[in-house]
Chains A and B, each alone.
Chain A
């Protein structure tokens, strides 16, 4: 049966047999870096195309269908165009920060790929504080956005960045609390442990209604954290033209664009890992035949299937809902989501102590 685990193991053995331990580490690092960058590019291309196709079919049109079969190379062509464009730096901009900002946003997105378990035993870095690492690093991206908005010397950018700062800092709390509720149930911060704990059922099902509430809050909070509609305050096309990246062009703009999609992928991967069992197949208690059948589907397909389902949900939001206003957005977080998730965490903690979950 196809599995990424076998692939990595045989590579490891081959390298260990032919090189010294130091060289094995160097070669493996290079392979991992190349793979991460490749995944980055491929994900960017696929997700942008997916968004355009999803949007098109929701809007009674066909979407890109000229470049390649079914428009599959449209995003590649767009990327080539963006690479060839001139990256303008406006007069009066803080040049250092202006040019640094897209890379900050990008590097944060890249760092977040490290602890994600893509398939069974296929993980770059199985750090024992995986969940903490994710929530800590993901909050750095707001610095990149603030830098971009502040250094552009554009009032729209400044307003967008300030909105984005308020928004990301607020919604980090709810996202963090709903992540913690799963950590409480699992008793571990390590992502591989969290996945392993869902061997006989996903937390979404095992954790009764509180887990469901945590999942819903998580989805709302990460939609806001990644600045996606209906929470796209930072861009708010009809109010602030393009918000914090108004002044960016060419590849620097593309980096922001790419980072947005990679961030969506990452938060959905975290959501799938915490609530939908990561790469674990779907199992129902006593249905042996069904469970065996599910085991035949490779774990990587399970993982990416769940992640893309969540990504589709987030895209669905974007193309359905109108945008919130900034004060409504903050009210929603501080007056509703935060109290609810705190209460929910309390209920889950009691549940975990009493052992009421399955």
Chain B
């Protein structure tokens, strides 16, 4: 363990000589301001030359005590704070909270609302994966894919803006359904997006996936075995890249996922390239889900009838969803009042980050960005 003074010391003058005091080790601070951490993650890395000996993540730079804040917000309000956790799948976070509240209230959700929610979930997932793809390629030194990814992602955020009124933190879901009906243009624009996506996705493979430099940077890098993935509590594409079946949409279906026709993507290699391929293939699956639903949105209410003030009965409620990064669990303890007594989020990023040290030991500093890229870390999701 490093004490706080040691960390500060290691950035002070004469530390270059001081760090090499016989051990041959160099301690560097990656973050909290660093281009590869995409946020305020702070990694204290012990290096031997270029080789990583140890990584110690220091968290808390963007801790906003969202869980504590939720305790003083009503069951209608607290949902929207969670948009700020994993801001790239904010819609799915809201979905998880709404599901938990609905579980407590034992609400029936109208089929139209369910379909709209799932459609939005999958659009969010594609948008999140698009951004991940661009950012990861940028970490590896290729800048152009970032702009390619944003070209497609923009159309999704435009669709979101039209229906939800916001581009990133949509705040579209409420207990019992969604806040308002979809925009009349929604179906047409989603179909346009699917066409655009299908005409452009081959560029992703041509530019990045098939590139020999990229494959050399990814294959065999940051290997996480099946057992380790389970014991670190990894979920989402990180676990599925190691061959662990962990898709909540398949294992514990919510909404209408059990009626949909899609595959759970798993790869067996467990390296960065496997995690990369899982996400690329997941985008195709999400598009297929959207295709199945976009013409079959049932007529009817978009919101169940609920009381103005929601009160959950005394008890404990838990529900989980599959976000773009893995399993998000929402745990509510209710004392029967209008606000939760205690709330706890099980966020995917936190568990996935814990595997980083194990993965990275013995590999080169350059590999670190490939591993962090394929872990798809969103820092507010880790710190909350």
Q: Out of B16, B28, B147, which one reaches A59, CB within 8 Å?
A: B147
Shortest Cβ distance from residue B376 to the other chain A in the assembled complex, whole angstroms: 15
List, in ascending order, chain B residues with CB within 8 A of A159's CB. 28, 50, 365
With CB as the reference atom, state the residue of chain B lying closest to A93: B13
Q: Decide if B211 touches A238 in the complex (CB within 8 Å).
A: no
* Dominant secondary structure at the B interface: helix
- Give the distance in Å from the alpha carbon of A54 to the alpha carbon of B179 in the complex: 45
CB of B294 closer than 8 Å to a CB of A: no
Q: Decide if B217 touches A238 in the complex (CB within 8 Å).
A: no
List, in ascending order, chain A residues with CB within 8 A of B365's CB. 159, 239, 326
Given known pairs A237-B35, A326-B50, the reply for A319 and B144 (CB within 8 Å) is yes
- Give the distance in Å from the alpha carbon of A64 to the alpha carbon of B153 in the complex: 23
With CB as the reference atom, state the residue of chain A lying closest to B143: A319
Shortest Cβ distance from residue A151 to the other chain B in the assembled complex, whole angstroms: 11
CB of A77 closer than 8 Å to a CB of B: no
Q: Could you give, for residues 117-150 of chain B, a 1 whenever the CB lies within 8 Å of some chain A CB and a 0 otherwise?
A: 0000000000000000000011111111011100
With CB as the reference atom, state the residue of chain A lying closest to B150: A60
Q: Out of A92, A323, A324, which one reaches B13, CB within 8 Å?
A: A92
CB of A35 closer than 8 Å to a CB of B: no
List, in ascending order, chain A residues with CB within 8 A of B140's CB. 238, 322-323
Given known pairs A59-B144, A155-B16, A239-B369, the reply for A322 and B151 (CB within 8 Å) is no
Q: Decide if A238 touches B36 in the complex (CB within 8 Å).
A: yes
CB of B213 closer than 8 Å to a CB of A: yes
- Give the distance in Å from the alpha carbon of A58 to the alpha carbon of B214 in the complex: 19
- Give the B-binding residues of A (Cβ under 8 A): 55, 58-61, 91-92, 153, 155-156, 158-159, 163, 229-230, 232, 236-239, 241, 319-328
List, in ascending order, chain A residues with CB within 8 A of B9's CB. none
Q: Decide if A60 touches B366 in the complex (CB within 8 Å).
A: no
- Give the distance in Å from the alpha carbon of A239 to the alpha carbon of B367 in the complex: 9
List, in ascending order, chain A residues with CB within 8 A of B14's CB. 92, 153
Q: Decide if B142 touches A322 in the complex (CB within 8 Å).
A: yes
Q: Out of B141, B147, B367, which one reaches A230, CB within 8 Å?
A: B141
Given known pairs A55-B143, A322-B140, A326-B50, the reply for A236 and B366 (CB within 8 Å) is yes
- Give the distance in Å from the alpha carbon of A54 to the alpha carbon of B369 in the complex: 26
Shortest Cβ distance from residue B147 to the other chain A in the assembled complex, whole angstroms: 4
Q: Out of B50, B144, B216, which one reaches A320, CB within 8 Å?
A: B144
List, in ascending order, chain B residues with CB within 8 A of A328's CB. 213, 216-217
Given known pairs A153-B16, A155-B16, the reply for A325 and B137 (CB within 8 Å) is no
Given known pairs A324-B217, A325-B217, the reply for A155 and B28 (CB within 8 Å) is yes
List, in ascending order, chain B residues with CB within 8 A of A91's CB. 13
Jot down 6 A-B pairs with beta carbons below 8 A, ordered by A: A59-B146, A239-B368, A322-B211, A322-B214, A323-B142, A325-B367
- Give the distance in Å from the alpha carbon of A163 to the alpha carbon of B50 in the complex: 9
CB of B244 closer than 8 Å to a CB of A: no
With CB as the reference atom, state the residue of chain A lying closest to B139: A238
Q: A229-B141, A230-B141 are in contact. List 7 more A-B contacts (CB 8 A).
A: A55-B143, A236-B141, A238-B35, A238-B138, A241-B35, A327-B50, A328-B216
List, in ascending order, chain B residues with CB within 8 A of A59's CB. 143-144, 146-148
List, in ascending order, chain A residues with CB within 8 A of B19's CB. 155
List, in ascending order, chain A residues with CB within 8 A of B138's CB. 238
CB of B112 closer than 8 Å to a CB of A: no
Q: Decide if B211 touches A321 in the complex (CB within 8 Å).
A: yes
List, in ascending order, chain A residues with CB within 8 A of B364's CB. 325-327
- Give the distance in Å from the alpha carbon of A159 to the alpha carbon of B140 in the complex: 17
Q: Decide if B144 touches A230 in the complex (CB within 8 Å).
A: no
Given known pairs A92-B13, A321-B211, the reply for A232 and B366 (CB within 8 Å) is no
